[in-house]
Amino acid sequence: MKRVGEVGGGTGEVGGTPPAVTVPAMVSAIDVTRTFGHGDTAVPALRGVSFVIPKGQLTALSGRSGSGKTTLLNIIGGLDTPTGGQVRIGGRDLTRMSDHDRMLLRRGTISFIFQSFGLIPMLSAAENVGIPLRIAGVGRREREERVQLMLAIVGLTDHAAQRPNELSGGQQQRVAIARALAVSPELLIADEPTGQLDSETARQIMRLLRTVVQSEGITALVATHDSALLELADSVLRLEDGRLVETAH
């Protein structure tokens, strides 16, 4: 397995090892910094973070609480802007976009999964999954077909009519994953998606994300503090006190 950022290579010499196919980058971060506050009260959350995530890869982001994981995810997802450096998503310079353009990027290119699930209590599983499709203006018939497909992918076809309080924690997170996938994003960002789940359910959810990345052809960046889940990722980015240490397994 390659370290994050090693997306090409090979000698290309006659009779030697054939050159590796270069995979286009989905996420590129160059010397990203983020500081909160000013002057003597300034707190650096990210300190010169650089990496590349190739398209179609599941990358895990690890680190202790306070290491900068959520800050980094918010910047990559266009929810926050860095103090310095550059972030590119699918070749587009996120750091130069207007607020409106970042909003459009989040609506059509990036989807989020959160630890708290974020489901609307009074809506059924199917209705929750259909929310981003409604926002995108997808017609009713196409929307219903897409919702059915997404629920089938996450194994919840038989639970379409149930509301969140009628589902287990693992099932609620599966609904959240289906909702995030409904609009066919290029990049899926998940912030501690297994944080409220027991260890076995957490592994099931991580395996599901692994399967989804492969079947849907998307790129996923998943923050987790659970070292047991890192083996299911293609590559691992580890943050320590706002600095990045690249690892691979």
DSSP class of residue 192? S
pLDDT digits (tens, 9 = 90+) for 76-88: 999 999 999 999 9
200 confidence band (pLDDT: 50, 70, 90): confident
Structure tokens belonging to residue 114: 């959160």
Task: Enter the pTM of the model.
Answer: 0.84
CATH number of domain containing 103: 3.40.50.300
Give the least confident one: 19-28, 84-93, 135-144, 237-246: 19-28
Question: Would residue 211 count as lying in a domain?
Answer: yes
| 80 domain-assigned | no
Per-residue pLDDT of 209-241, as tens digits, reads 888 888 888 999 999 877 777 888 899 999 999
Its domain, for residue 165, covers: 56-68+98-247
CB burial of 106-140 (b: ≥16 within 10 Å; e: otherwise) equals: beebbbbbbbebebeeeebbbbbbbbbbeeeebee
* Range list of H helices, 69-227: 69-76, 99-108, 125-135, 140-153, 169-181, 199-216
- Would you state the pLDDT for residue 150? 92
Torsion-angle region of residue 132: left (phi > 0), alpha (psi -120 to 50) or beta? alpha
Q: Residue type for 234, please? A: D
pLDDT per position as a tens digit, 31-63: 999 999 888 888 999 999 999 999 999 999 998
**Average pLDDT in the chain:** 86
In a domain, 9, yes or no: no
pLDDT of residue 247: 57
Number of structural domains (the chain) is 1
Q: What is the DSSP letter of 57?
A: -
Residues forming beta bridges with residue 176, ordered by sequence position = none
Distances (CA, A) of 121 to 124, 127, 162, 167, 193: 8, 10, 10, 11, 18
Residue 217 within any structural domain of the chain: yes
pLDDT at 249: 46
Confidence of residue 158 (pLDDT cuts 50, 70, 90): very high
13 domain residue, yes or no: no
**Block residue for tokens 């179609």:** 56
Domain contains 14: no
Please state the separation of Cα 87 from the chain's center in Å.
15
Q: Is residue 38 part of a domain?
A: no
